[in-house]
Amino acid sequence: MQRIFSGIQPTGVPHLGNYLGAVRNWVALQQNHDCLYCVVDLHAITADHDHKTLAAQTRDLAAALIACGIDPDRHVLFNQSAVHAHVRLGWIFTCVARMGWLNRMTQFKDKAGKDRENVSTGLFTYPNLMAADILAYHATRVPVGDDQRQHLELANDIAQKFNHDFEVEFFPAIEALIPPTAARVMSLRDGSKKMSKSDTSDQSRINLTDDADTISAKIRRAKTDPEPLPSEVEGLEGRPEARNLVGIYAALDDTDHAGVLARFGGQGFGTFKSALADLLVAKLSPIAAETTRLLADPGHVDAILRRGAERAAAIANPIVDEAERIVGFLKP
Ligand code: AMP
Ligand code: TRP
Say what the alpha-carbon torsion angle 166, 36, 175, 98 is, to the nearest 10 degrees: -40
Asked whether 139 lines ligand 2 (CB < 6 A), one says no
Which residues are near ligand 1 (CB < 6 Å)? 8-9, 17-18, 21-22, 144-145, 147-148, 183-185, 194-195, 197
| 165 C-alpha to ligand 1 centroid (Å) | 33
Give span(s): CATH 1.10.240.10, the chain.
202-293
Kindly report the pTM of this predicted structure: 0.96
Q: CA nearest 2: which of 160, 137, 93, 153?
A: 137
Q: Note the pLDDT of residue 213.
A: 97
Give percent above pLDDT 90 in the chain: 98
Pairwise CA distance, residues 77 & 66, whole Å: 9
pLDDT per residue as tens digits for the range 4-38:
999 999 998 899 999 999 999 999 999 999 999 99
Protein residue with its CA nearest to atom 18 in ligand 1: 17
Atom of ligand 1 minimally distant from the CA of 143: 10
Extended beta strands in the chain, E state: 3-8, 34-39, 76-79, 141-143, 175-177
Q: How far apart are CA 247 and CA 154, in angstroms?
A: 28
- Angstrom CA distances, 254 to 48, 65, 278, 325, stand at 37, 20, 15, 47
Q: Which residues contact 47 (CB under 8 A, 6 or more apart)?
A: 11, 111, 119, 120, 123, 198
Q: Which of 214, 218, 212, 208 is nearest to 187 (CA)?
A: 218
Residue nearest atom 15 of ligand 1, based on CA coordinates = 18
Q: What is the DSSP string of 178-245?
A: --SSSSSPBPSS-TTSB--TT-S-GGG--BTT--HHHHHHHHHHS---SSPPPSSGGGGTT-HHHHHH
Instruction: Please indicate whether residue 134, judged by its CB atom, sits closer than 6 Å to ligand 2.
Output: yes
DSSP H/E element including 59: helix 54-68
Per-residue pLDDT reduced to its tens digit, 77-109: 999 999 999 999 999 999 999 999 999 999 999
Catalytic residue among 161, 197, 223, 283: 197
Q: What is the mean pLDDT of residues 305-329?
A: 98
Q: Across all residues in the chain, what is the average pLDDT?
A: 97
114 catalytic per annotation: no
pLDDT for the residue 167: 98
- Residue range 202-293 in CATH 1.10.1040.10: no
Residue 182 clears pLDDT 90, i.e. is over it: no
Q: Which atom of ligand 2 is nearest to the CA of 133?
A: 12
Instruction: Tell me which of 111, 161, 223, 283 is the catalytic residue.
Output: 111
Q: What is the mean pLDDT of residues 158-187?
A: 96
Contact 229, 194 (CB under 8 A): no
- Taking the centre of ligand 2 as the mean of its atom positions, its distance from the CA of residue 296, in whole angstroms, is 28
Q: Measured from the CB, is residue 12 less than 6 Å from ligand 2?
A: no
Query: What pLDDT, on the 0 to 100 scale, is given for residue 12?
Result: 84
Task: Indicate if ligand 2 lies below 6 Å from the C-beta of 133.
Answer: yes
276-293: pLDDT as tens digits: 999 999 999 999 999 999
Question: Does residue 223 carry a catalytic annotation?
Answer: no
Q: Give me the pLDDT at residue 198, please.
A: 87
Superfamily (CATH) of domain 3-183+298-327: HUPs (3.40.50.620)
| Mean of pLDDT values over 44-59 | 97
CB of 9 shorter than 6 A to ligand 2: yes
Percent of the chain with pLDDT over 70: 100
pLDDT digits (tens, 9 = 90+) for 207-217: 999 999 999 99
Q: What is the amino acid identity at position 310?
A: E
Supply φ then ψ for residue 221, to 5 degrees: -85, -5
Within the chain, all domains assigned CATH 3.40.50.620 are found at: 3-183+298-327
**What spacing in Å lies between the alpha carbon of 6 and ligand 2's midpoint?**
6
Q: Does the pLDDT of residue 235 top 90, yes or no?
A: yes
- Distance, in Å, from the CA atom of 321 to the CA atom of 326, rounded to the nearest integer, reads 9
156 vs 127: CA distance, rounded Å: 11
pLDDT in tens, 125-161: 999 999 999 999 999 999 999 999 999 999 999 999 9
CA distances from 294 to 7, 10, 65, 301 (A): 20, 17, 11, 7
